[in-house]
Structure 1
Amino acid sequence: MTLSQLRTFALVARLGSLRAAAQELGISEPAVSAALAALRTDLGDALVVRSGSGIALTPGGRALAGYAQEIVGLAEQSRREVARAAQDGAELRILATPAFAEHAAGRLLEAYARRHPGPAARVVVDAADDAGALLGERAYDIALGIRPARSSTPLHALPFLRYRRILVAAANHPLAALPPPRVPGKALTQRWFSGPSAGGPLEEQRWFANLPAVPELVQLDSEAAALAAVRAGEGLMLAVAHVIRHDLASGGLVQLGFPGTPVSGMWWASTLLPGRVPAAADALLRFAGSAEATEAMMAAGGPRGLVRRGTQVHVALWSSRVSGKG
């Protein structure tokens, strides 16, 4: 059994076709058949059989498919890690959800850098609905802000920061002067603002789904832009409470009494299981759950994060060797 044979079989299992696997690998279909034949001989199982729609995996083939994909992934990761180490330029690949990236990512990474000088990191800001698959494919080393809903690969997921969202309006907004019983019905007729990931994680999605009516929702490029619109009196927002505490204290924004609020949420850090990820990713996951990290992310002075800009993903380069000095 060779890595080349396992890579070929993994593609056949994923694509469901010898021809498609051959095209993907840039080899002939007979070469794919030869690789499968060698595996059959080695393992004593047919692995794949013909079916009406193409091919189907035998029970043994299904068992091998998971191992083959994992082995191939580990081999590819090993090549990347060896190459990066040889060049002294290893890079920690981080996937961050928009809200977490905007409100806390910069503070977390700066605090981590002071404790763990190490490789540079590339942070990609994305809604990450398929974070589990991306981690399983090793496209990223760690996901911050979301707990992957589904993944065929076992993951280590750590909840590290609970937050609350409250409904707010400008102090001069008409709703700010209403008695609490009249707020809910009136609020649903107003314009609501949000950042690029309206609805957010599961807790927030459930809250929106249970509203008696759907308000007009305006999504902007960032929650900072949404807050600016709310401060200007243009509408309402379900805002992160600790981010706007200065606005609340100064009276610039007021909290509206609305059923079901505050809405609690949780930011998560997720990686593959320990031993299958770079040491820096495992260290970052564990650090995210520390009291030091929580203090840094909740510190006063406004957010220090990474923001999606327009329809493009903002890619930030961060080096713990550099950040640790600042």
Structure 2
Amino acid sequence: MDIRQLRTFRSVAELGSLSKAADRLRIAQPGLSRQIKLLERELRVQLFIRNGRGMLLTSAGRTLLDRTEGLVRQIEQVRDDIQSAAGRPAGRVALGLVPTVSAVLSGRLAARILAEFPYISLRIVESYGGHLVEWLHRSELDLAITYGPATDLHLVTQAIGQEDIAVVGPPGSGLRSRKQVTFDWLLQQRLIVPSVAHGLRVLLEKSVARKRMALKALIEVDSYRAQISLMEEGLSYTLLPASAIRAELAAKRLEIAALVNPTITRELVLASPTTSLSSIAATTVSATIMSEIEQMSRKGHWKIRLAD
């Protein structure tokens, strides 16, 4: 195996298509196919199932991807750092964001990276905290913004800050005029909540346990976009940070009230793998993230209490 074959294999696995991988790598499709066949011949296993829908990994292919992902990323980072030595950060950076953070940050961050660091290729991956932490441990991501506390993650972390979780409901729910509701009131409602593996649900369940009461779940939805859609249909209430629904609140498609007695606060951290040094490009993106969040907080675009 050589690095060229492994990069080719990884691109085909990620994209599920020889033609798409050929476009990304700027390699003619027959040459790319030949590299895959040589790799399969050397390993004496079939790595892909080829069908009309594209290229699907076999169990052997999945094993190869899992075992070599971090290695290929480290080799690429060495190349990127050498190219960055001239003072222009360069290279590919994979950034994971939990969905509610992605909603408020991804567009502004991507625009800033494109304008200030044109030689950095930013890949944004949106998923839930548990997935992001797993991918960081496998070095499939360079950075991720996820939920704390940092001590639970076993990663290199930098504290971002804390923000309150609010009660969100449909138009006409009365939340806007009430301005705040108590936790006891919340527990009398049938709620739209994420599943038990979700970070926000974990925070909610901890508060419910301290009250020695039961949570009434009307429906479990792991997509916060789907939560918004259900509330716009007038079905129920949910809990979200205000930053994630600024557009819906401005358009009066949703209403919001502060949650009190007790409040629920989430901690956000910027995390990176412990298994490898951050590339110059990843360090640049990390600094830009912290700078952008500080600007958004100062201008009132994100109500977050920044860490000291």
User: Unaligned 5+ residue runs, structure 2?
Assistant: 1-41, 45-67, 85-89, 303-308
- Relative distance call for 1:185 and 1:83 in structure 2 (3 A) is closer
Residue 236 of structure 1 deviates from its aligned partner by 0.8
Matched, 1:287 2:288: yes
- In the TM superposition, what is the alpha-carbon distance from 1:227 to its structure 2 partner? 2.5
Residues 167 and 258 in structure 2, CA contact (< 8 A), matched pair in contact too: yes
Name the TM-score, length of structure 1 as normaliser.
0.53
Q: Deviations over 1:166-215 (max 9, x none)?
A: 1133352378888989x655533433224677442865553354352111
Give the structure 1 partner of residue 123 of structure 2. Answer: 122
Secondary structure in 1 aligned to 2:200?
Answer: coil
Residue 140 of structure 1 corresponds to which residue in structure 2? 141
Alignment check: 8 A CA contact 2:163 2:266 kept: yes
**Matches of 1:241 and 1:280 in 2, distance apart?**
31
Q: 1:178 to 1:277 in 2, by over 3 A?
A: closer
TM, length-normalised to structure 2: 0.56
Q: Is the 8 A contact 1:189 1:216 kept in 2?
A: no
Aligned counterpart, 1:48: none
Matching of residue 167 in structure 1 with residue 163 in structure 2 = no
Q: Give runs of aligned pairs for residues 2-41 of structure 1, distance below 5 A.
A: none
Q: After superposition, what is the alpha-carbon deviation per residue over 1:215-250, rounded to whole angstroms, capped at 9, x for unaligned?
A: 115233532332233244311111212344576678
CA 1:156–1:215: 2 relative to 1, 3 Å: same
- Give yes or no for contact 2:160–2:269 (8 Å, CA) kept in 1: yes
For residue 190 of structure 1, what is the amino acid of its counterpart?
Answer: Q
Correspondences of 1:244-323 after superposition (within 5 Å):
244=245, 253-255=255-257, 258-261=260-263, 263-272=264-273, 276-290=277-291, 292-296=292-296
More off after superposition, 217-226 vs 72-81: 72-81
Equivalent pair of 1:188/1:215 in contact (CA under 8 Å):
yes
Letter in 2 for 1:264: T
> Which residue of 2 is the match for residue 110 of structure 1?
111
The answer to which structure has the higher helix fraction is 2
1:231-278 residue CA offsets vs partner (Å, 9 max, x unmatched): 4431111121234457667865141655313x2222211114697121
**Structure 1, residues 94-113: CA drift from partner, whole Å, max 9, x if none?**
22223222332332333344
Compared with structure 1, are the counterparts of its residues 163 and 174 closer, same or farther at alpha carbon in structure 2 (3 Å cutoff)?
closer
Q: CA RMSD in A?
A: 4.4
Distance 2:173 2:136 in 1: 44
Alpha-carbon offset, residue 129 of structure 1: 1.9
Deviation per CA, 1:274-326: give whole Å up to 9, x if none: 97121111122222222x43334787889xxxxxxxxxxxxxxxxxxxxxxxx
**Equivalent runs, 1:87-102 vs 2, <5 Å:** 90-102=91-103
Identity %: 16
Q: Distance in 2 between matches of 1:200 and 1:226?
A: 13
The residue matched to 1:200 in structure 2 has which SS? helix
For the 8 Å contact 1:95–1:144, the answer to whether it is kept is yes
Residue equivalent to 1:308: none
The one-letter amino acid paired with 1:265 is R
Shift of 1:144: 1.8
Against the structure 1 CA distance between its residues 103 and 276, is the aligned structure 2 distance closer, same or farther, given a 3 Å change threshold?
same
Separation in structure 2 between the aligned mates of residue 160 and residue 179 of structure 1, nearest angstrom: 27
Most deviating of 89-98 and 245-254: 245-254
Q: Which amino acid aligns with 1:219?
A: E
SS at match of 1:109: helix
Q: Distance in 1 between matches of 2:74 and 2:199?
A: 38
Aligned-partner Cα distance in 1 for 2:256–2:73: 50
1:215 equivalent in alignment to 2:216: yes
Residue 128 (structure 1) shift: 3.8
Deviations 1:60-97 (A, max 9, x none): xxxxxxxxxxxx99865443335778999942122222
- For residue 114 of structure 1, give the secondary structure of its aligned residue in structure 2: helix
Deviations 1:21-68 (A, max 9, x none): xxxx969xxxxxxxxxxxxxxxxxxxxxxxxxxxxxxxxxxxxxxxxx
Letter paired with 1:233: G
Match of 1:81 in 2: 77
Distance 1:273 1:112, change over 3 A: farther
Going from structure 1 to structure 2, the CA distance change for 1:131 and 1:241 (only over 3 Å counts) comes to closer
